[in-house]
């Protein structure tokens, strides 16, 4: 009964996912409950605490074995203090989540942003297992990122490290404005949203593409069309891959990670996408900074968040 | 007599500089001797060991107080093992400097590359004193760099982290080839060499500039002309500042450092240069990643190397 376990919580707008890990990052048990965002901040906080208790109660472990609780959450945080300045998708403002949960759960609690936590999950127990120095991309609605050095998350002065989606990588002459207000951010071209936008633009201007027959184009449609040989779709996917590869060439001389891990919906395009990214990385990266460096898919899927959150306690 | 002291050695092609520091990074004593590169590898190694002994003998401290010796050296290194693969300016190949010095000096020795070591010096005891998270640029013949996170050098998988001069920041259409073989590296525009090249190009193509009267243009001539209002020189300095600022905007969303420290000969241009860099950084950086972030001059000058080398022992 002396084995320690770690609770990882991934707070999303719809569901709160919880995982129990051992000290190796093995996912022992999972639990999921509704966030109930519509019921307001107090209800959300109570749910987080209740689900943490529930997963341990459901498992074969005792609460006394819990070595700590980690939480991943999207929003503007003061990471060291565990303070939520603003979590837009939860409509939570000005709450100290760490203090709240430590009082409720009587164990150490650490809070970090969702992209950092997912990166830590992959680095600790996923695609990067055994690698202390990696850079993770999550290609979803935006492009999320997380940087792991010496096995730990790099948070930055104001928690803004690893915001890889906001690297200004598209040259000014070809750039469009990002949601953040700046021009040419990576996520304007390499996120699902970016891919969909480029596809819709192509259809609207009358490019000859099978995507013109698709109503409500999704990123997967563009990738499937590209794989089937549609030239317009191929150009769009190549552009997404090109700027990812260029951003990795930058990372290689800044951080020289041992591996780049790519997850998120768009990464499901698989080797078709990865080969294009590797080709660009190979072309634009100095020899010493690319030798032996791997660009590989994430392996934990939707569990990266709960595993990484559990890992916060051991890797801080 | 129980106070520990740390020996820092900065091995250059002409001179070997040595410094003694206490645990706060205060530089207590300095020493300098010729490298004698022309006498070959054995002589250079013997000089390094002899000068380390000499600085302590000259000082009021005893060798028994030495807590370790750090060495900064330019070249391709295997940092963890202290192995020099190739140091071009010393013509040294395939030597384990750490093992050699540990045997000769009977104390712990750590070896790192010169730019990393200078960055650590500034972060530990110079412009970044008290700041754990900074990015340092050295604007000299090339653009050197070093990244300090949590008070420690980020080395990278193959020791290539912090190679800020090789960030491909100049858009392809305006890029020229760098000495490294890649296009558009920061050091093609923001190093002394880059500034001189742009000035010579301007003179050769007949631009109206006071630099046309200068034989053997140096970077300082270009900066002085720019300060005096020469429009061609102003454009060149602005370009150097622009790409520095853009590279810092990238760093801000990747590492979100608390400060950027700029040293090296070109940085002596002072506020004239720094103001331009800050303006670009301000314009191109996301609010959350730039708030409170400082761009400041290095303060240790040529001593950054010996101080940082001494710091290797305490910050590893």
Q: Which of A167, A173, A182 sits opposite B254 (nearest CB)?
A: A167
Q: Which of A133, A147, A180 sits opposite B286 (nearest CB)?
A: A180
State the average pLDDT for chain A: 96
Q: How many domains does chain B have?
A: 2
Instruction: Give the model's pLDDT for residue B185.
Output: 97
Residue of chain B nearest A170, judged by CA positions: B171
Residue of chain B nearest A291, judged by CA positions: B158
Same domain, A162 and A39: no
Distance from CA of B172 to the nearest CA of A (A): 9
A75-92 pLDDT tens trace? 889 999 999 999 988 999
Same domain, B192 and B274: yes
Distance from CA of B20 to the nearest CA of A (A): 29
Question: B133 vs A168: CB contact, 8 Å cut-off?
Answer: no
Question: A159 vs B256: CB contact, 8 Å cut-off?
Answer: yes
Question: A289 vs B166: CB contact, 8 Å cut-off?
Answer: yes
Same domain, A157 and A191: yes
Q: Which of B160, B182, B289 sits opposite A160 (nearest CB)?
A: B289
Contacts of A182 in chain B (CB under 8 A): 284-286
Q: Which of A155, A158, A256 sits opposite B156 (nearest CB)?
A: A256
Question: B133 vs A163: CB contact, 8 Å cut-off?
Answer: no
Question: B171 vs A167: CB contact, 8 Å cut-off?
Answer: no
DSSP H or E stretch at residue A33: strand A27-34
Residue length, chain B? 316
Same domain, B160 and B290: yes
Instruction: Give the model's pLDDT for residue A1.
Output: 54
Residues of chain B whose C-beta is under 8 A from some C-beta in A?
76, 133, 147, 149, 154-164, 166-168, 171-173, 180-182, 246, 249-258, 284-286, 288-289, 291-293
Same domain, A221 and A252: yes
Same domain, A171 and A265: yes
Q: Report yes or no: B137 and B262 within 8 Å, Cβ to Cβ.
A: yes
Q: Report yes or no: A144 and A183 within 8 Å, Cβ to Cβ.
A: no
Question: B158 vs A251: CB contact, 8 Å cut-off?
Answer: no
Question: A256 vs B166: CB contact, 8 Å cut-off?
Answer: no
Same domain, A288 and A173: yes
A208-257 pLDDT tens trace? 999 999 999 999 999 999 999 999 999 999 999 999 999 999 999 999 99
Q: Report yes or no: A190 and A140 within 8 Å, Cβ to Cβ.
A: no
Strand B83-87, strand B143-149: pairing: unpaired
Distance from CA of A260 to the nearest CA of B (A): 12
Share of residues in chain B with pLDDT > 90 (%): 96
Question: A289 vs B76: CB contact, 8 Å cut-off?
Answer: no
Distance from CA of B180 to the nearest CA of A (A): 7
Contacts of B158 in chain A (CB under 8 A): 256, 288-289, 291-292
Q: Which of A160, A250, A285 sits opposite B288 (nearest CB)?
A: A160
Q: Which residue has the tokens 């000299």?
A: B140
Instruction: Give the model's pLDDT for residue B240.
Output: 98
Biggest alpha carbon–alpha carbon distance for chain B: 66
Instruction: Give the model's pLDDT for residue B1.
Output: 54
DSSP letter, residue A284: H
Residue of chain B nearest A135, judged by CA positions: B254
Q: Which of A171, A253, A257 sits opposite B167 (nearest CB)?
A: A253
Tokens of A104: 């409720």
ipTM: 0.93
Question: A254 vs B147: CB contact, 8 Å cut-off?
Answer: yes
DSSP H or E stretch at residue A6: strand A5-11
The span from the CA of B277 to the CA of A274, in Å, is 36
Tokens of B292: 């409170």
Residues of chain A whose C-beta is under 8 A from some C-beta in B?
76, 133, 147, 149, 154-164, 166-168, 171-173, 180-182, 246, 249-258, 284-286, 288-289, 291-293
Same domain, A138 and A45: no
| For residues B11-15, average pLDDT | 94
Residue of chain B nearest A287, judged by CA positions: B180
Domain extent for A101:
5-122+303-314
Same domain, B165 and B23: no
Residue of chain B nearest A145, judged by CA positions: B254
Distance from CA of B96 to the nearest CA of A (A): 19
Question: B164 vs A254: CB contact, 8 Å cut-off?
Answer: yes
We report the CATH number of the domain holding residue B150 as: 3.30.420.40
Whether residue A104 is predicted with pLDDT greater than 90 in this model: the reply is yes
Per-residue pLDDT band for B2 (boundaries 50, 70, 90) equals confident
Residue of chain A nearest B131, judged by CA positions: A157
Q: Which residue has the tokens 């709240």?
A: A100
B199-224 pLDDT tens trace? 999 999 999 999 999 999 999 999 99
Same domain, B274 and B291: yes
Share of residues in chain A with pLDDT > 70 (%): 100
Distance from CA of A314 to the nearest CA of B (A): 17
Same domain, A289 and A156: yes
State the average pLDDT for chain B: 96
Per-residue pLDDT band for A316 (boundaries 50, 70, 90) equals confident
| For residues A144-170, average pLDDT | 95
B18-73 pLDDT tens trace? 999 999 999 999 999 999 999 999 999 999 999 999 999 999 999 999 999 999 99
Q: Report yes or no: B24 and B33 within 8 Å, Cβ to Cβ.
A: no
Same domain, A135 and A113: no
Q: Which of B161, B168, B252 sits opposite A255 (nearest CB)?
A: B161
Q: Write the DSSP string, chain B.
A: ----EEEEEEE-SSEEEEEEE-TT--EEEEEEEE--GGG-HHHHHHHHHHHHHHHHHHSSS-GGGEEEEEEEE-SEEETTTTEEEEETTTTEEEEEHHHHHHHHH-S-EEEEEHHHHHHHHHHHHSTTTT-SSEEEEEESSSEEEEEEETTEE---TTS-TT-GGG-B-S-GGG--B-TTS-BSBTHHHHSHHHHHHHHHHHHHTT---GGGG-SS--HHHHHHHHHTT-HHHHHHHHHHHHHHHHHHHHHHHHT--SEEEEESGGGGGTHHHHHHHHHHHHHHS-HHHHTT-EEEE-SSGGGHHHHHHHHHHHT-
Instruction: Give the model's pLDDT for residue B175.
Output: 96
Helix/strand/coil for A49: helix
Distance from CA of B163 to the nearest CA of A (A): 5
């Amino acid at each position: 009964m002396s084995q320690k376990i770690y609770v990882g919580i991934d707070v999303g707008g719809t569901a709160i996912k919880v995982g129990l890990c051992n000290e190796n990052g093995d996912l022992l048990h999972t639990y999921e409950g509704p966030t109930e965002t519509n019921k307001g901040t107090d209800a959300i906080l109570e749910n987080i605490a209740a689900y943490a208790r529930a997963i341990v109660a459901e498992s074969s472990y005792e609460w006394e074995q819990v070595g700590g609780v980690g939480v991943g959450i999207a929003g503007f945080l003061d990471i060291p203090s565990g303070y939520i300045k603003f979590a837009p998708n939860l409509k939570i403002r000005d709450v100290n989540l760490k203090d709240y949960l430590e009082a409720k759960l009587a164990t150490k609690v650490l809070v970090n942003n969702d992209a950092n936590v997912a990166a830590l999950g992959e680095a600790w127990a996923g695609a990067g297992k055994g690698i202390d120095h990696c850079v993770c991309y999550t290609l979803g609605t935006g492009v999320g990122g997380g940087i792991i050095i010496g096995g730990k998350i790099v948070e930055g002065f104001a928690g803004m490290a690893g915001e890889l989606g906001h690297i200004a990588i598209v040259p000014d002459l070809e750039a469009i404005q990002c949601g953040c207000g700046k021009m040419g951010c990576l996520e304007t071209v390499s996120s699902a949203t970016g891919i969909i936008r480029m596809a819709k633009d192509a259809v609207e201007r009358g490019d000859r593409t099978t995507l013109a027959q698709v109503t409500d184009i999704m990123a997967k449609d563009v990738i499937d069309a590209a794989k089937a040989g549609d030239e317009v779709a191929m150009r769009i996917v190549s552009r997404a891959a090109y700027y990812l590869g260029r951003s990795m060439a930058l990372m290689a001389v800044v951080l020289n990670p041992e591996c780049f891990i790519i997850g998120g919906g768009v990464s499901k395009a698989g080797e078709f996408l990865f080969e294009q990214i590797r080709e660009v990385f190979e072309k634009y990266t100095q020899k010493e900074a690319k030798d032996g460096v791997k660009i590989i898919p994430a392996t934990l899927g939707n569990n990266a968040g709960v595993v990484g959150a559990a890992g916060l306690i051991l890797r801080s």
